[in-house]
Chains A and B, each alone.
Chain A
Amino acid sequence: MDPKFLKQVEKFSNLKTALETKKRNAIEKANNKLVFAWNGGLFRADQQTILFAKTHDASRDLIMLDTNKTPIKIDEVQDFIVKAESSYFEAMNEYYLLYEQIKTQRSVEKLMNDD
């Protein structure tokens, strides 16, 4: 096979690996930022948690399992939703901005030097 072509493929593959590595670390950063404390428990502000809290039958007590499977009674449901949503949007906005920056980078050097 043409060595020039192989070199081109290798260069592309290196760039994709570097992109993927930075992207995965950015996702993990966002995931860690989703965790918030509420009423003694720890919750992940994911879409399921937010949607369930928003759509549950208001005539029933809202009991949620936290990250350690501890049942926590959510008394102030509206405040819980506000807190969860703010954690979610903060983490996702930061990830979105980082992702937008990553996807335009076309060299390993640039990926390494940009924040």
Chain B
Amino acid sequence: MTNGVLMFALNGQALDSNKNKIKIDYVTMALANAKNIKKYMKNNLVALITDSQGKEQLEATESSAKYIDHVIVTDPIYHGKGPETNIKVNKRSMRIGTKTISFEWQNLTRPDAYKLSPFDKTVLLDCDYYVFDDTLDQLFNTDKDILCGKNVEEISYQDNLIDYKRLHHQSLKLFWATVLYFTKSAESKLLFDTMNAVKSNWLFYSKFYKFEGSRTYRNDHAVSVALHLMQGKIETNHYDLPFKIMCLADKNIMLDSKRIVYRYGNGWAGSGFPKQNVHIMNKESAMIVAEEILNG
């Protein structure tokens, strides 16, 4: 029985409002996270799914073999017209502190995690969900086949966003694919098959569950719909991950792994952050923390 952590890393190129190019280096983020996984977790085998360029980047990085046990290369082919198949359309805009950036979001291969994972029991993480403790180890000692992020807290506590809790205020509860535990089992296979079915019929499901306004393909939405269908179209807590996912909103800033700066009224405020697992949605901050981990 093998246990491990799986991440996806497909680098992107973002443009800010002045058309300056910013590299979103998911491979470096994944490498830093792998280093932390080795440091803090007992179930610390790491598999990384990336493309040929990502593999080249890893090969050029001396420490990568130390932290990443399996490199799985998939070169996705994009086609079609919708955001669920074509990254030219699947454009994501987000803030990084005071700037706004947009980039092609290469998140379309996530539903293939089941067939690509080399592990019997897998914790699938976003590579910007940084591991700073051993809490996720508990998942490997359960009989559960699927557990998915459900409770989320923004670490500045300035907003209470419905977007963090539901796909739409009249629709389903939102699961966060940021942390998704699954086993090689019929139930998990069904989850990923259903995610693929939702992805293939994106327009239908986005209208049906009222999230067509998002205009991008989001794995959080696909997994939420899939788990809703699998629960018999009712809300239970059968698949809820018991941990709260702490996250830094893209509009806020992490100066390093223990200091945050956030919008407060019309200005900015700061505070300390006790070191723990954290999803850093501000990509610039995620890169800063990655460098801190790799150089630390």
Contacts and interface: CB of A to CB of B under 8 A. Distances in A.
Interface of A: 14, 17-22, 24-26, 28-29, 31-33, 35-37, 40-42, 44, 67-69, 98, 108, 111-115
Contacts of A24: 157
Given A17-B269, A35-B138, A68 B237 contact: yes
A21 B239 CA distance: 29
A17 B264 contact: yes
Contact of A28 (B246, B259, B275): B246
Nearest to B261: A112
Contacts of B147: 68
A112 B259 contact: yes
A67 B143 CA distance: 13
Contacts, number: 101
Given A18-B272, A19-B271, 4 more contacts: A22-B272, A32-B135, A37-B140, A112-B258
Q: Interface of chain A, helix or strand or loop or mixed? A: helix
Interface of B: 133, 135, 138-144, 147, 153, 155-157, 236-240, 242-244, 246, 255, 258-260, 262, 264, 269-277
B270 A32 contact: no
A25 B274 contact: yes
A18 B277 CA distance: 20
Contacts of A35: 135, 138, 242-243
A20 B274 CA distance: 12
Given A67-B242, A69-B237, A28 B143 contact: no
**Max chain B C-beta neighbours (<10 A), residue from A21, A22, A36:** A21
A30 to B, nearest CB: 9
Contacts of A41: 142-143
Contacts of B240: 67-68
A44 B242 contact: yes
A21 B243 contact: no
Contact of B142 (A17, A33, A42, A112): A42
A21 B156 contact: yes
A68 B273 CA distance: 29
Contacts of B155: 21, 25
B112 to A, nearest CB: 26
Contact of B144 (A22, A68, A69, A112): A68
Given A21-B157, A35-B138, A42-B142, A114 B272 contact: yes
A19 B157 CA distance: 12
Contacts of B237: 67-69
Contacts of A22: 271-274
A36 B144 contact: no
A26 B242 CA distance: 17
Contacts of A19: 271
A37 B143 CA distance: 9
15 contacts: A14-B264, A17-B271, A22-B274, A25-B271, A26-B274, A29-B274, A32-B133, A32-B135, A41-B142, A42-B139, A68-B238, A69-B236, A69-B237, A112-B255, A112-B272
Given A17-B264, A25-B246, A68-B238, A37 B272 contact: no
B253 to A, nearest CB: 12
A41 B274 CA distance: 28
